[in-house]
Chains A and B, each alone.
Chain A
Amino acid sequence: MGLLLPALAGLLFGLGLAVSQMMNPAKVLNFLDLAGNWDPSLALVMGGALAVTLPGFAWLRGRPRPWAAPRFAWPQATDIDAPLLGGAALFGLGWGLSGLCPGPALAGLVTGQPLLFGFVLALLVGYRGTAWLQGRARAA
């Protein structure tokens, strides 16, 4: 149960990215391109996902614990601070340049395109490099 659940959740997630075509960066870029050949699909993907998570998470809030873990790991941070907004802006820049965010980029690897492997590798380098810098800043 504890092993099956994350695998099943991942499977549904990957299937959702494929069915919705969010793993196609052209589809994402056309959503972001309000002045071009605008494709509103992404808004419906987000809407469909939120139609499940909004009531679903509210229901889980009232439950004592997950089925296969001791506690819910709800994020604790609430600050709307410079790292949050600066990070979101950097992410938005990379997302707008490529049409790729982490989930779709990973899902797209199944098509075997070498450039996507490059993107995911660069993503990991950026993520771990920033984590390292944050660690040094905290230690200083």
Chain B
Amino acid sequence: MIYLDNAATSWPKPPEVLKAMTDVLEHAGGNPGRSGHRLSIAAARVVYDTREEIAQFFNISDPQRIIFTSNATHAINLVLRGILKPGDHVVISSIEHNAVMRPLRSLERQGIHLTIVPCAAHGTLDISKFERATGSTTKLIVMTHASNVTGTLLPITEIASIAHRAGALLLVDAAQTAGALPIDVPAMGIDLMAFTGHKELQGPPGIGGLVIADDVEVSQIEPLMRGGTGSRSESDEQPDDLPDKFESGTANLAGIAGLGAGLKWVKDRGVDEIRDHLKKLSQALLDGLSTLPQVRIYGTLDTERAVAIVSFTVAGKSVSEIGLRLDEEYGILSRVGLHCAPAAHKTIVSFPEGTVRLAPGVFTTLEDVQEAIQAIAKVIES
């Protein structure tokens, strides 16, 4: 079996991740921060250590500004629901995932104004168009760091300058990039960043987070949920202290431990080395696919300007048929369809059919890629 669906979730997980998850439940299984006994304290240490590791990884100086959520979608909703008020203006690109589109469409009905700046058909963004769309009423710019359909990287640093000149904040959706390439949050000018643990950070599903840059005023963000935090229990009002303001309810301890181990694995291997490895794999995919007849590849076709995601269609063949045959006849696992991103597929002109998406991961080899190309060639022939 060759797993080429790492953009949906990375697989397999490093053995260290599985071990960390069982270890924490076996040896540190208390409720972090809810009691003062040894198992509760041991659990709280695991949670804090992971928080600190993540802060260092994204170059945030205050670890309490790392907020654990269940996934990137949860972190995005936290920001959108927590900051935006009727009358606020939001600017986004036309290749955003439904994690961004759906909450914003819902908020639009409650009175926020949304401008969607179209990207080019290969997924790149015209910065001057974006600048013209941003004005004095703009409260927030939301942008994916990389398209989950084509892998195309968007110019975050330039967009951050536009946001800050307008007095707006920038929220980045780093679901596809956290762990896949170096991210320095302050250097890139990012104010808020949603990430997920289960993709290139090698953690399990069910854990993600929100990164709040050191200079962002937290009082402007309302919590998405309120409840028990283990702190200030004498009060029945939600505390303002970080991270408790945004972390009500019992934490996903096993998920956090797994994420911590996944991040450590990424750091040990080196995020630059991971980036190089994935670039080689996506280059091999692009080279192989471009020799096949009837194949159309979407995106920039430039591995420097994309993460390791390759989307394609074959003239005269449905994407679902290709996906099914690759799985059943050749054991090659891809993801076909719209990838929860109808706006992106409209932009690259693959709506409503969608594409076949191939996403190699850290454990994918060049041989795997060659085998996949041969299988795709056979599917096209017959």
Q: Do A and B come from one complex?
A: no
Interface residues in chain A, defined as those with a beta carbon under 8 Å from any beta carbon in chain B: none
Interface residues in chain B, defined as those with a beta carbon under 8 Å from any beta carbon in chain A: none
